[in-house]
Amino acid sequence: RNQWRGVLHEWADVLDVTDASTVVTLGEGGTPLIESKALSQMTDARVLVKFEGLNPTGSFKDRGMTVAVSRAIDKGAKAIACASTGNTSAAAAAYAAAAGIQAIVLVPEGKIAMGKLAQSVVHGARIVQVRGNFDDCLEISKELAEQYPVHLVNSVNDDRIEGQKTAALEIVDVLGDAPDLHLIPVGNAGNITSYWRGYSLAETSGMATKRPRMLGFQAAGAAPIVRGEVVREPDTVATAIRIGNPASWQQALDARDESGGSITAIGDADILKAQRLLASSTGVFVEPASAISVAGLLERHAAGDIPAGATVTLTVTGHGLKDAQWGLKREDGSDAQPESADADTAQVAQLLGLA
């Protein structure tokens, strides 16, 4: 029972890690692929959920950040910078802390989940809340990195894509082959790019006999790729994917088209419904942006796009505790009100209808 050693050690061969390479790790990766009986039944397929919320900072970003920060150290970086809707900044802050360097994070003011902001604070990042959206933050971050001695760790940095591709390799490793379909949220489009690279590598290296169809999902109010044009004022409850001009737009189109897949839009109400469904039927609590994979599965099933008996993997990208407010809401949007009782067994039993 050896401890999982993080993606740079576990996937050293595919990430070109040598004895001379710096490795900054928090043990990321190796996340469980959980079979969902409920979703399988609902869709007549075999549905498995890759729960990326179980990474050290609670999202898939850790896979890319271990690589980006390790390589930044090898290049002599003393500070890293990123734009973020919250998760990248949390990961950057944590890995910079582990490496003993400074993280600078730019986030859209008032538009990131409280848990994510708390992570950046507690890990000691320098946080700038920008009066603008993610796309503005990314432009500024790129310019900072061009003009000043800070190392950019957004997914326009290929080290991030390299690290994140390991999730696809893990899925192939566990299943013994690639799935038939892979469903994934799309925001800045780095992760769909990573998975496609990972699945392509799995096929060319002989780990897999095929590549899956890639089905990506954007929130309806922030769906530039679906609409085919930049969205100036993106808006959705899924703040993690509130992005109007994705950096890896073209790569997402390539993944879609080369795989014979699709990228479609899902409304906020369906996202929140899917979040509750996954939590209550499967035991996996994810943030709204992640639940779009589940909402997307149901939407694609209704559209007749999920063949019976297919093996379907879903990436759920971030933990529900990051943005816990949604867990406290009922279906109709009202606040859940836990019942109260005195410290008395008889009273509790009566309240529960047991007595």
103 annotated ligand binder: no
Is residue 87 part of the contact set for ligand F0G (CB under 6 A)? yes
Is residue 317 part of the contact set for ligand F0G (CB under 6 A)? yes
191 annotated ligand binder: yes
Which of 31, 85, 133, 157 forms a contact with ligand F0G (CB under 6 A)? 85
Which of 25, 31, 59, 141 forms a contact with ligand F0G (CB under 6 A)? 59
Dist CA 331 CA 142 (whole Å) = 41
Is residue 88 part of the contact set for ligand F0G (CB under 6 A)? yes
Which of 56, 86, 221, 320 forms a contact with ligand F0G (CB under 6 A)? 86
Dist CA 73 CA 265 (whole Å) = 39
DSSP 205: T
Could you give the angle at which helices 268-282 and 288-302 cross, rounded to 10 degrees?
100
Give Cβ neighbours of residue 150 (< 8 Å, ≥ 6 apart): 77, 79, 80, 81, 104, 144
In angstroms, give the least distance from the CB of 287 to ligand F0G.
5
Q: Which CB, 46 or 313, lies closer to ligand F0G?
A: 313
Is residue 215 part of the contact set for ligand F0G (CB under 6 A)? no
- With b for 16 or more beta-carbon neighbours within 10 A and e for fewer, the 192-215 pattern comes to bbbbbbbbbbbbeeebbeebbbbb
Helices (H) and strands (E) in the chain, counts: 14, 10
Give Cβ neighbours of residue 34 (< 8 Å, ≥ 6 apart): 48, 49, 50, 51, 282, 284
The torsion angles phi and psi of 219, rounded to 5 degrees, stand at -70, 140
Choose one: 85-93, 94-102, 121-129, 144-152; the region binding ligand F0G (CB under 6 A): 85-93
Q: Which CB, 72 or 186, lies closer to ligand F0G?
A: 186
Is residue 225 part of the contact set for ligand F0G (CB under 6 A)? no
Handedness of CA 49, 55, 58, 62 (dihedral sign): negative
Angstrom distances, CA of residue 81 to CA of 66, 113, 140, 277: 14, 19, 10, 36
Choose one: 6-14, 97-105, 175-183, 284-292; the region binding ligand F0G (CB under 6 A): 284-292
Which of 28, 170, 180, 287 forms a contact with ligand F0G (CB under 6 A)? 287
In angstroms, give the least distance from the CB of 343 to ligand F0G.
39
Q: Which residues bind ligand F0G (CB under 6 A)?
A: 59, 61, 84-88, 155, 185-191, 240-241, 287, 289-290, 317-318
Binding residues for pyridoxal 5'-phosphate: 87, 187-191, 317
